Structure 1
Amino acid sequence: MTSDDRYKLFGVYVSPPVFDALETILYEEAGVVDYANYFEPTGSTVPVGDPGADATAQLVADLVADFAGLYDAADFGAARAVDPEAFELAQLAAEPETVARARERFQAAATIQETDSRTVHTAILAAALEGVDGPGE
C-alpha cells in the first residue's frame, strides 16, 4: 500500500505514435527529457511532487473521469491494426485508487471489445491525447 505522498506506477502498452505523444506531453508539461527511462529506476511508487508523476497522475485522473467518452471516441480498429511487436511499455503514475479504477475500466473495455489490453490501452489513450497534439495531429 502506498502512502498519501506517493503515486503508484502502472504500465500500459501503447503504439509508437501514442508513446511519442505521451513523451511530448511530459516534456512540455514537466520537462521530462527521457520518458522511456524516467520511472524505471524508481520501483513501484514515486513521490507526489515529482513533475513527471504529477503530469501523468493528472492525465490518468482525466482519463478515468472521461473514460466513457474516450471509449466512444476510440478507434479500436486502428489499434488492432498495430503490429503486435510494435507496442511499447509506457509507465504512468497516479493515486492508487485511480490506478485501480483505470485498470478496471481498461479490463472492462477489453472484455466488451473482445480484444487484448494493449489494443484498449492504445485506442483509449490515443483518443485522450487527440486534443493535445496526440496521434494523428
Structure 2
Amino acid sequence: MSLSRTRSRTLAAIGFLAATGLFLTACGPEDSAGADASSSPSASAPAGSPAASGGADATEAPAGSDGTFSGTLTFLAPGKLLVGERVFWVAEDTEITGGDICGDPETAEAEKCTADDLDAAAEAGNLTVEVTIKKGIAGRVTQK
C-alpha cells in the first residue's frame, strides 16, 4: 500500500510542477496587448508580426508609445487603426470627435462619433486625425 501512495504523491508533484511551469511561461495581458500595440507596419512583414516591430532608429520612440500623434488614419482591422506609424486600439470609452468622421463636415462644431464611424472613415481614407494613445489604446481621436 505504501508503494501506491508514493506513486500518487510523485505523480501529483510532477503534475503540479508541470502546471506551474506552464502558468509561469504563459503570456500576460501586457505581453499580448503590447505586442500588437508596439508593432509598426513594414513592407516585408504584416502589422503585428515580430518582424514588423524592429526599431528603425534608437532615438525614435517605439511605435505604440504613449503620447499624442497626428497623421493620416489607416484601417487595419475592426477597432485596430494606424495613425502615421503608430498602431492603436479603439476602446468603448474612446472619445471620438469630428465632422468628417461622422456627421456633416460642413458644421463647425465637433460631433461625437462611435468606433464603427471611425472604422468606416479610416476605410474611406485620406482623413487626418490627432490621437492620444496610452498603453496602445486611444483615449481620444480628433479630426484635424
TM-score where L is the length of structure 1: 0.27
TM-score where L is the length of structure 2: 0.27
- Larger proportion of strand: 2
Say which one has the larger Rg.
Answer: 2
Q: Which has the higher contact order (CA 8 A, sep 6+)?
A: 1
